[in-house]
C-alpha cells in the first residue's frame, strides 16, 4: 500500500437536493413590549449577532432606536435603546465596524430624517447625526467601504439619497437621485466597478451603479416583473452579491380594482453589468390582498442558492422562501403568528436574514417564543440539507502507531440535524469490514494502513479516516511531553523516552544535538541530561535504531536570556600575574533603556555600570568575576573563574616558543552576533595594519584600523547596530599578510 502523507476528513455532498423544509433549531425573544421588533441582523467577528430595530418606551407608542448584541447562542451581551423619549426613532440597518463597535442607520421623529448612530463594542453611544434635508428621510442601508469610510443609503425629500461619511459622522459627499416621484434606496453593495444601490423608482424597481468618489451615476436601470398586464408597483428591498453578479428580492405588485392588488414574491438575478439572467415571481398563497406579500431580506446559501424572508399576511405570519441558483423554488415555509404548537414560536414578520457558518438561516423580525408576549424575535433554522455531524470517534487521534499483531477498536458516534436515519460503512484497505457503528481490526502486516468509516444520510456522506503506522517497535512515550520548550539559560533538562517493541527484538539508542555550542551526536540509553548554557534555538533528537529501521522523537528548545554572548567565552581561564583582562557581556537588546550592569570580584563590588570592564591581576591566586545584567524585572548572571599564575623564565620561554611568527586574525567573537563583535589580531612585531569590514557585495562598510599597531594581541570592536542583518567579511592586511573571515549579524 502506498504511504499516505496526509489525513483525510471530508464531506462529500450528493447531487440530490433535499426538498424537506428545515426545522427551527432555536428561537429567542428580546424586549418586553408587543410593539418591539428587530429589522436587521449582522454576524459579528466573534461569532455572535448584532441586531437593530425599534423598542417601545411608553404607553403612547413612542419608540426608540434599539440595538441588541448577543453571543452565538443568542444570549444577550447588551441591549440598549437610544434617542429622545418624546420622539419615535427606529433603526433599519446595522454593521460591525472594522475597528470595533457598530454603526446603525434609521430615521428620527417626524418629519423623518436620515439618522445614523455610532456605538462602541459595549453599546455606549459615540455620536448620532442627522443627514440630508430632513424631509421624509430614512437610512435603510449602511456599508463600510474598502477605503475605511462609510456609505449610507435611503430616502430624503422623496429622492434616493447617498452620503459618504467618515468615522466621526462628517459628510465627505452627499447626493440625491431620481427624476421620478418617490425614489427610495433600500440596499447596496460595494463592487469592483463602484457602489450598486437597489430600491424603487416610482412604479419600477431601480438599480443605480454609483462612483464611490463622488456618487456620480455610472449606470442605472429599471426592472419590471414577468406580469406585464395592469398598473404595477415593483421594488427591490435587498441586494446581495453572488457568483458572476447579484441577486435582488422585492415585491411584484399589480394594482387592481377596489384598492386591492395582486402580489408576488419577486427574485431577480443580474450579471455585473445589470443584464438580467433570470426573473422569477412566486404566488405562494392568496394572490389578492393589498400589501399582503413582501420579501425584505435575502441571504446566499452554501450550495449557491438563496433564501428570502418577509411576511404573508394572507397566512397571518412570517415566511421564508428557498430557491436554487437558477431561481427555481425549492420550498417555502410560513410561521403564522397564531400557531406556535409546531415551531415553539410564532412570527408576524421577518425583516432580514443571514447565513450562519454551518449553513443555517438566521432570521429576525417580530413574534413570540412559547407563551411570551410578542416582541423582537431571532430564529435559527438548521441547514435544509447538511451532512451528518460527527460527535465523537475512537481512537480520538487520526494518525498513530501500533505494533504488528495488535487489535484495536474503532468507533464513530454521529447525528443528523434533519433526524434522517444514518448508515455506516467501514473499509480496511479495499475490503468492507463492518456496517455497524464500530469495528475491531487486527493488524497482521507491517506498513501504513488506512481505516475509513463513511456515515451517510439520504443525500450526503461524511468520511473519517485513520492512518495507522504498523511497526516492529516505536517510541510510545517521552518526556518532556511537549516537544516545543522555552526555558531560561543555565537550565538542565532530563530527556527520556520509552520504546514499545515486539518481544525479543534488540535495538540501539542514539542522541543528537543541533544548535549553538556545536552539532554532535552520541550513543546512550533511554534518557540523557542536557545543560543549556547558551541562548538560542536548540534541537534534541532521540533515536531508536534497529538495522535500517529507526524511530525518533524531536524536541525544539528555545533557550531565553537577556544575554546573547560574553567575553571571554570560556568561563574558566588562566593568566600570568600582572595581566590585565577585559571582561564583556553582550545583551540581546543592547539599545534597551532599561539595561543595568553590576560587577563583582570575589564578591566585592567593582565601581562600574558598563557592559565591559578591564581588571588587572597583580596577585597570584584564584579569582571569581561576576557580571549581573538587568533589563526591567529580568536578570542574568555570568561568572568567570580566573586562575592567576606566577611567571617563570621556563614558562615564559616556552610561551615565546609557541607564539606565531606571522600576523594572525582570530575568529570573531561572538559569531553570529547581535550588534557588537570583537575582532582580535596578533602581531609578532609592530606593523602597518588595515582592518576593514565588507558587505556580501564587496563594498567596504567600516574601517576599524588604518595605521601602525604594536606587537602582541590587540582587540577591536565593530559596533554594527546601524547595519542590516546579514553576512559580512572581515579582512586584515598586516605587512605582506592578508587574512579574511566571515561574520554574521543577526537581529
Cβ contact 426:408 at 8 Å: no
- Spatial separation of the C-alpha atoms in residues 176 and 173, rounded to whole Å: 11
- Spatial separation of the C-alpha atoms in residues 182 and 248, rounded to whole Å: 19
- CA-angle at 184, arms to 183 and 186, nearest 5°: 155
- Spatial separation of the C-alpha atoms in residues 142 and 151, rounded to whole Å: 6
Grade residue 739 by pLDDT with cuts at 50, 70 and 90.
confident
Give me the pLDDT at residue 652, please: 45
Give me the pLDDT at residue 1, please: 32
Paired sense of beta strands 572-576 and 634-645, if any: parallel
CATH 2.60.40.1930: which residues of the chain?
A: 662-747
Residue range 519-523: mean pLDDT, rounded: 84
- The candidate with the shortest Cα–Cα distance to 210, out of 231, 228, 193, is 193
Give me the pLDDT at residue 656, please: 45
Give me the pLDDT at residue 655, please: 47
Give me the pLDDT at residue 315, please: 67
| Preceding amide of 86 cis, omega within 30 | no
**Which helix (H) or strand (E) covers residue 482, if one does?**
none
Grade residue 256 by pLDDT with cuts at 50, 70 and 90.
low
Grade residue 574 by pLDDT with cuts at 50, 70 and 90.
confident
- The candidate with the shortest Cα–Cα distance to 295, out of 304, 305, 283, is 283
Give me the pLDDT at residue 9, please: 33
User: Which range is least confidently modeled, 192-206, 471-485, 568-582, 622-636?
Assistant: 568-582
Q: What is the CATH number of domain 662-747?
A: 2.60.40.1930
User: Which range is least confidently modeled, 108-112, 448-452, 460-464?
Assistant: 108-112
Grade residue 568 by pLDDT with cuts at 50, 70 and 90.
confident
- The candidate with the shortest Cα–Cα distance to 250, out of 288, 313, 294, 283, is 294
CATH superfamily of 25-381: YVTN repeat-like/Quinoprotein amine dehydrogenase (2.130.10.10)
Please write the tens of the pLDDT for every residue from 386-410: 678 899 999 999 999 999 999 999 9
Residue 496 has pLDDT above 90, yes or no: yes
Burial, 618: exposed, middle or buried (Cβ in 10 Å; 0-12, 13-18, 19+)? exposed
Grade residue 649 by pLDDT with cuts at 50, 70 and 90.
very low
Give me the pLDDT at residue 85, please: 54
Residue range 609-622: mean pLDDT, rounded: 89
Give me the pLDDT at residue 602, please: 93
Residue 455 has pLDDT above 80, yes or no: yes
Say whether pTM exceeds 0.75: no
Give me the pLDDT at residue 490, please: 84
- Spatial separation of the C-alpha atoms in residues 368 and 317, rounded to whole Å: 12
pLDDT > 70 fraction of the chain, expressed in percent and rounded: 87
- The candidate with the shortest Cα–Cα distance to 109, out of 84, 80, 133, 142, is 84
Per the listing, cell 612585531 goes with: 685
Residue range 74-90: mean pLDDT, rounded: 81
Grade residue 142 by pLDDT with cuts at 50, 70 and 90.
very high
Class of the 473-560 domain? mainly beta
* Eight-state DSSP code of residue 167: T
- Spatial separation of the C-alpha atoms in residues 178 and 220, rounded to whole Å: 10
- Spatial separation of the C-alpha atoms in residues 725 and 704, rounded to whole Å: 19
Q: Is the dihedral of CA 434, 438, 439, 445 positive or negative?
A: positive
Give me the pLDDT at residue 56, please: 80
CATH fold of 562-658: Immunoglobulin-like (2.60.40)
User: Which range is least confidently modeled, 74-78, 144-148, 154-158, 517-521?
Assistant: 517-521
Give me the pLDDT at residue 257, please: 62
Give me the pLDDT at residue 657, please: 44
CATH 2.60.40.10: which residues of the chain?
A: 9-13+387-471, 473-560, 562-658
- Spatial separation of the C-alpha atoms in residues 458 and 16, rounded to whole Å: 9
More reliable by pLDDT, 484 or 7: 484
- Spatial separation of the C-alpha atoms in residues 201 and 250, rounded to whole Å: 13
Read off the C-alpha cell for 591: 539599545
Give me the pLDDT at residue 578, please: 81
Those residues with Cβ within 8 angstroms of residue 723's Cβ, 6 or more apart along the chain or in another chain: 701, 702, 745
Q: Collapsing DSSP states into helix, strand and coil, what is residue 655?
A: helix
Give me the pLDDT at residue 261, please: 67
Residue 147 has pLDDT above 60, yes or no: yes
Give me the pLDDT at residue 585, please: 85
Grade residue 500 by pLDDT with cuts at 50, 70 and 90.
very high
pLDDT > 90 fraction of the chain, expressed in percent and rounded: 42
Give me the pLDDT at residue 741, please: 86
| Preceding amide of 466 cis, omega within 30 | no
**What distance lies between CA 596 and its chain's CA centroid?**
39
- The candidate with the shortest Cα–Cα distance to 79, out of 61, 55, 47, is 55
Read off the C-alpha cell for 668: 570573531
Cβ contact 606:599 at 8 Å: yes
More reliable by pLDDT, 36 or 270: 270
Task: Please provide residue 654's backbone torsions phi and psi, each rounded to the nearest 5 degrees.
Answer: -65, -40
Give 9-13+387-471's CATH code, choosing from 3.90.1150.10, 2.40.10.480, 2.60.40.10, 3.40.190.10.
Answer: 2.60.40.10
Please write the tens of the pLDDT for every residue from 182-221: 789 999 999 988 999 999 987 788 899 999 999 999 999 8
Grade residue 457 by pLDDT with cuts at 50, 70 and 90.
confident
**What distance lies between CA 609 and its chain's CA centroid?**
45
Residue range 232-249: mean pLDDT, rounded: 89
Read off the C-alpha cell for 338: 397564531
Read off the C-alpha cell for 600: 563583582
The overall average pLDDT reported for the chain is 84
CATH 2.130.10.10: which residues of the chain?
A: 25-381
Amino acid at each position: 500500500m502506498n504511504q499516505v502523507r496526509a489525513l483525510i476528513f471530508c464531506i462529500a455532498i450528493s447531487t440530490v437536493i433535499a426538498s424537506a423544509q428545515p426545522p427551527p433549531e432555536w428561537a429567542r425573544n428580546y424586549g418586553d413590549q408587543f410593539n418591539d421588533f428587530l429589522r436587521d441582523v449582522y454576524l459579528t467577528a466573534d461569532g455572535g449577532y448584532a441586531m437593530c430595530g425599534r423598542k417601545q418606551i411608553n404607553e403612547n407608542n413612542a419608540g426608540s432606536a434599539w440595538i441588541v448584541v448577543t453571543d452565538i447562542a443568542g444570549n444577550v451581551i447588551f441591549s440598549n435603546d437610544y434617542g429622545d423619549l418624546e420622539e419615535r426613532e427606529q433603526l433599519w440597518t446595522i454593521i460591525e465596524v472594522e475597528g470595533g463597535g457598530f454603526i446603525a442607520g434609521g430615521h428620527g421623529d417626524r418629519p423623518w430624517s436620515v439618522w445614523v448612530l455610532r456605538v462602541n463594542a459595549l453599546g455606549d453611544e459615540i455620536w448620532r447625526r442627522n443627514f440630508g434635508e430632513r424631509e421624509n428621510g430614512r437610512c435603510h442601508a449602511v456599508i463600510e467601504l474598502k477605503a475605511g469610510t462609510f456609505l449610507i443609503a435611503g430616502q430624503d425629500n422623496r429622492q434616493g439619497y447617498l452620503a459618504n461619511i467618515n468615522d466621526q459622522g462628517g459628510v465627505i459627499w452627499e447626493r440625491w437621485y431620481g427624476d421620478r416621484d418617490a425614489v427610495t434606496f433600500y440596499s447596496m453593495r460595494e463592487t469592483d466597478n463602484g457602489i450598486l444601490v437597489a430600491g424603487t423608482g416610482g412604479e419600477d424597481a431601480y438599480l443605480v451603479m454609483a462612483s464611490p468618489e463622488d456618487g456620480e451615476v455610472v449606470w442605472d436601470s429599471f426592472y419590471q416583473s414577468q406580469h406585464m398586464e395592469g398598473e404595477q408597483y415593483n421594488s427591490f428591498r435587498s441586494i446581495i452579491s453572488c457568483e458572476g453578479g447579484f441577486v435582488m428580492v422585492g415585491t411584484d405588485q399589480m394594482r387592481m380594482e377596489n384598492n386591492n392588488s395582486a402580489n408576488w414574491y419577486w427574485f431577480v438575478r443580474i450579471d455585473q453589468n445589470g443584464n438580467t439572467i433570470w426573473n422569477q415571481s412566486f404566488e405562494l398563497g392568496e394572490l389578492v390582498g393589498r400589501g399582503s406579500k413582501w420579501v425584505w431580506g435575502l441571504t446566499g446559501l452554501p450550495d449557491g442558492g438563496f433564501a428570502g424572508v418577509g411576511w404573508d399576511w394572507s397566512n397571518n405570519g412570517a415566511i421564508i422562501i428557498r430557491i436554487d441558483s437558477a431561481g427555481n423554488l425549492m420550498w417555502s415555509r410560513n410561521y403564522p403568528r397564531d400557531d406556535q404548537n409546531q415551531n415553539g414560536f410564532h412570527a408576524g414578520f421577518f425583516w432580514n436574514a443571514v447565513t450562519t457558518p454551518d449553513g443555517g438561516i438566521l432570521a429576525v423580525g417580530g413574534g413570540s417564543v412559547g407563551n411570551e408576549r410578542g416582541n423582537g424575535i431571532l430564529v435559527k433554522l438548521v441547514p435544509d440539507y447538511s451532512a451528518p455531524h460527527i460527535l465523537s470517534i475512537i481512537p480520538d487521534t487520526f494518525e498513530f502507531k501500533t505494533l504488528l499483531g495488535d487489535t484495536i477498536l474503532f468507533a464513530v458516534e454521529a447525528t443528523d440535524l434533519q433526524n434522517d436515519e444514518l448508515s455506516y460503512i467501514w473499509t480496511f484497505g479495499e475490503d468492507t469490514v463492518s456496517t455497524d457503528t464500530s469495528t475491531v481490526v487486527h493488524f497482521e502486516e507491517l506498513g501504513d494502513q488506512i481505516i475509513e468509516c463513511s456515515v451517510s444520510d439520504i443525500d450526503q456522506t461524511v468520511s473519517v479516516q485513520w492512518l495507522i503506522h504498523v511497526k516492529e517497535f516505536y517510541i510510545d512515550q517521552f518526556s518532556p511531553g511537549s516537544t516545543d520548550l522555552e526555558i531560561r539559560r543555565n537550565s538542565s533538562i532530563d530527556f527520556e523516552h520509552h520504546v514499545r517493541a515486539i518481544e525479543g527484538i534488540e535495538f540501539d539508542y542514539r542522541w543528537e544535538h543541533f544548535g549553538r555550542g556545536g552539532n554532535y551526536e552520541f550513543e546512550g540509553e533511554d534518557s540523557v541530561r542536557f545543560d543549556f548554557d547558551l541562548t538560542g534555538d536548540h534541537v534534541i533528537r532521540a533515536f531508536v535504531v534497529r538495522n535500517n529501521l529507526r524511530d525518533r522523537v524531536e524536541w525544539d528548545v528555545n533557550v531565553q536570556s537577556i544575554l546573547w554572548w560574553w567575553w571571554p567565552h570560556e568561563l574558566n581561564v588562566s593568566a600570568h600575574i600582572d595581566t590585565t583582562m577585559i571582561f564583556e557581556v553582550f545583551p540581546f537588546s543592547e539599545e534597551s533603556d532599561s539595561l543595568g550592569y553590576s560587577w563583582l570580584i570575589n564578591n566585592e563590588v567593582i565601581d562600574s555600570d558598563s557592559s565591559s570592564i578591564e581588571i588587572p591581576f597583580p596577585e597570584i591566586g584564584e579569582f571569581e568575576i561576576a557580571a549581573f545584567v538587568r533589563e526591567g524585572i529580568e536578570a542574568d548572571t555570568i561568572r568567570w573563574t580566573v586562575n592567576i599564575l606566577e611567571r617563570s623564565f621556563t614558562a615564559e620561554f616556552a610561551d615565546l616558543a609557541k607564539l606565531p611568527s606571522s600576523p594572525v586574525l582570530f575568529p570573531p567573537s561572538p559569531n553570529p552576533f547581535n550588534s557588537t563583535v570583537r575582532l582580535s589580531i596578533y602581531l609578532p612585531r609592530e606593523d602597518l595594519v588595515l582592518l576593514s569590514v565588507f558587505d556580501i557585495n564587496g563594498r567596504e562598510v567600516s574601517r576599524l584600523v588604518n595605521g601602525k599597531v604594536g606587537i602582541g594581541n590587540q582587540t577591536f570592536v565593530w559596533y554594527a547596530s546601524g547595519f542590516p542583518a546579514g553576512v559580512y567579511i572581515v579582512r586584515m592586511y598586516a605587512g605582506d599578510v592578508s587574512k579574511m573571515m566571515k561574520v554574521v549579524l543577526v537581529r
